[in-house]
Amino acid sequence: MQQIPAPLWTLVIGIVVTLISLWYGQNNNLLPVQASEQAPLVDDFFNVMVTIGTALFIVVQGTIIYSLIRFRRRKGDDTDGLPIEGNLPLEAFWTAIPAIIVVGLGLYSVVVFQDMGGFAPGGHHHGGMMMAQAPQHEMVDVGSPMLAQAGEGGSRQVYGFGASPMVEGNRPDLTVNVTGMQYAWIFRYPDTAIVDGELHVPVGQDVQLLIEAQDVIHSFWVPQFRLKQDALPGQPAELRFVATKEGTYPVVCAELCGAYHGGMRTQVIVHSLEDYAAWEASRVAELPGAAETVAVNPATMTDAEYLTQIAQDIPIEATQIAQLARLSNP
């Protein structure tokens, strides 16, 4: 029986390993649902790494199993093994291939980072280039002086992810100030003065987060968005994204920040445009002074009508209201 040539075996095994690796790389289902425009970029990169890792795993483990069977000690064979001292071409090959893979993945990761809007390490950009116009967000009542200062014009050092190259320079649809503290996230909406412990955003809208830490280093991570950004004390950071799928997703602190780090969790709720407008209106109505804002103008009311309205929450009789009205109009 004629023996199959080794090159043919190598070709067949290479094709099988490649097909298996490609299939598993695209069907691994290891990541959660995609919920942002940035997620497919990260997932494509992840799938490439899984494809390469699967091929390497099959080759290495397959070689080990083949060697265990092919070169096992035979029954009754007590002789020494062959004196193999090394193979320079083989060692150069298995050193060069991983080096090429690492360099290739490194270059690919830089492309993904830039497409997601990542800033150059230690880079500067003009204030207003990747965030909304500074004057609108320089609000002292948002409870974040550092973020207000970060919004000032001119160049500044920032960290994180800004707008993608496709929309760089465009004003975001929504800006939210995010403060990390032991052990909670606080979200402030400068345009409406809303403060919440959960992040609410509209689907399909360009959202920019201005992130800071109040005490120690925290890390803002939404797995379904494939976005993570450290919150550094005294150092502004940005995170810009577009949510593509309605739902509720966890927000996790991914940096060990103290004894109760594991409990520093909240959620981001992605609304439809209509639901977000309704949520925003309901929260604005709950703000201090909102009732006075929507109340009837007292200038159009008589003294008795005005006193009757403010007396609803205090124990006062109608006769006393009438007396007060007469005193005010002698």
Mean pLDDT of 51-64: 94
Mean pLDDT of 247-259: 93
285 or 330: which carries more pLDDT confidence? 285
> Mind listing the pLDDT tens digit for each residue in 179-234?
999 889 999 999 888 899 999 999 999 999 999 998 999 999 999 999 999 999 98
Q: Is residue 203 helix, strand or coil?
A: coil
Contact 177, 208 (CB under 8 A): no
**Contact residues for 238 (Cβ-Cβ < 8 A; gap 6+):** 119, 130, 131, 158, 159, 160, 161, 162, 208, 209, 210, 211, 229
> Mind listing the pLDDT tens digit for each residue in 306-328?
555 545 544 555 555 555 455 44
Separation of alpha carbons 163 and 239, rounded Å: 9
**What is the overall mean pLDDT for the chain?**
80
With 0.75 as the threshold, say if the pTM is over it. no
- Choose the CATH number for 124-286 among 3.40.50.740, 3.90.580.10, 2.60.40.420, 2.20.25.90: 2.60.40.420
124 or 305: which carries more pLDDT confidence? 305
Separation of alpha carbons 225 and 42, rounded Å: 9
CB half-sphere exposure, 85, CA atoms < 13 A: 0
pLDDT attached to residue 311: 53
Separation of alpha carbons 303 and 329, rounded Å: 9
pLDDT attached to residue 142: 41
Helix (H) or strand (E) holding 69: helix 39-70
> Mind listing the pLDDT tens digit for each residue in 274-306?
999 999 999 888 877 655 544 444 555 555 555
Query: Which two tokens mark 303?
Result: 């003294």
Q: Sorting pLDDT into bands at 50, 70 and 90, what band is 150?
A: very low
Domain ranges of the chain: 7-69+98-115, 124-286, 296-328
Separation of alpha carbons 66 and 58, rounded Å: 11
Query: Which two tokens mark 62?
Result: 């397959």
> Mind listing the pLDDT tens digit for each residue in 73-97?
888 888 887 787 888 888 898 899 9
Residue 43 has pLDDT above 90, yes or no: yes
Contact 58, 16 (CB under 8 A): no
